[in-house]
Structure 1
């Protein structure tokens, strides 16, 4: 499905990514791991068209997307839950969700307002509240719901549970587990390794803009050296 091939991305004259390769297959949950500042968010930006790689390419189902505008990437079926949530502060919950709504051909069970409300009942309770009136956890639920409303083939979450209370984190992980059971392809960045080991099929570890390790959950769990050296665990 998603192929990231040897991308090199810059900020001005400063190189941030040095030949990053990763892939997400249909129905997989894949993680990007690493300490802060190692290139994870830049990789997401390169996938989403917010920053074009100078070399390499990003393809979705064989179609090159690495130089498309971000809204065109979203229309092709990649939904982003960005770091910091970025909900629309002056729209209410319902309007935030409807702003992203899109139906995709061949989707037998499309995401609708009602389905999002069933996934996150709190959003239905708060549907007339403005985005800036929500708690951090409610904003994250809204950001996930908004991304689902485009009916994405691939869902990307950048710092899925950062700064959230433990009870809200548990709810987010339960949501991602459910989405995986429904066959949703997911690429996720987070620091909660225990939760990621339970849900993910494959992991990519980044260090200074390079993929330095990849493997499945069993391999990562059995390699404390990788956890300590690259993840600080």
Structure 2
């Protein structure tokens, strides 16, 4: 079966400074892959380049078999890639309900698509705060809203950049539980987060980036068997 996402030899730069060098990875349908590494090593740049927000300088990105590394971010999004960005970036002056429904679509043509009611069942706190503005929510509630908003597009691929950054431990657990539930439901996921031990329990495979290059790639079992890899490349 063809991967949902296939990245080969991806390169990117900011001006004259090259940031990504020959990054390759693929994600099969219904799989969860993580992108790991210390801050500043190229994880977010990889995501930005996949989404067309940072132009690629080389390599190839294919999504559902179609080459997308020369498409605009708008066209890439419409193909069925949704992102929960670092910093959440919800609309502060829209209510929870308006944030969720503003861009609702069924990009992947699901027979049972994500709806407002399904999002509220996944995150009951959002139902309680339905009429609150985005800027009236806590950080954890904003992250729930950002995930819900992305799911409302019913994407083929959901990307979470810094999935639990800055969240309290109980909220982090809630987000991880959500990711595990999405994986069980067959949602294809690419997740950036730093809590390797928790990710091993729910993800299929992992890619570690060091200074814009793939330093290690393997399964959860392989990563679990060698904690020295975490300490070397992730610092946990």
Compute the RMSD of aligned alpha carbons.
0.9
Which of 34, 39, 44 matches 1:41? 44
| In 1, Cα distance between equivalents of 2:107 and 2:160 | 20
Which residue is equivalent to 1:104? 107
Which residue is equivalent to 1:156? 159
Shift of 1:105: 5.6
Q: Does 1:169 align with 2:178?
A: no
Structural mapping, 1:118-197, within 5 Å: 118-197=121-200
The unaligned stretches of length 5 or more in structure 1 are none
Shift of 1:222: 1.1
TM-score (structure 1 length as normaliser): 0.98
| In 1, Cα distance between equivalents of 2:139 and 2:109 | 34
Structural mapping, 1:1-233, within 5 Å: 1-104=4-107, 106-233=109-236
The unaligned stretches of length 5 or more in structure 2 are none
| In 1, Cα distance between equivalents of 2:38 and 2:200 | 17
Answer whether contact 2:43 2:192 (CA < 8 A) is retained: yes
Answer whether contact 2:161 2:193 (CA < 8 A) is retained: yes
Aligned pair count? 233
Answer whether contact 2:108 2:155 (CA < 8 A) is retained: no
Answer whether contact 2:196 2:230 (CA < 8 A) is retained: no
Shift of 1:27: 0.6
Deviations 1:172-231 (A, max 9, x none): 011111101100000000011111000010000000000010000110111133122111
Moved over 2 A (4+): none
Shift of 1:65: 1.2
| In 1, Cα distance between equivalents of 2:107 and 2:191 | 22
| In 1, Cα distance between equivalents of 2:162 and 2:49 | 16
Answer whether contact 2:106 2:155 (CA < 8 A) is retained: no
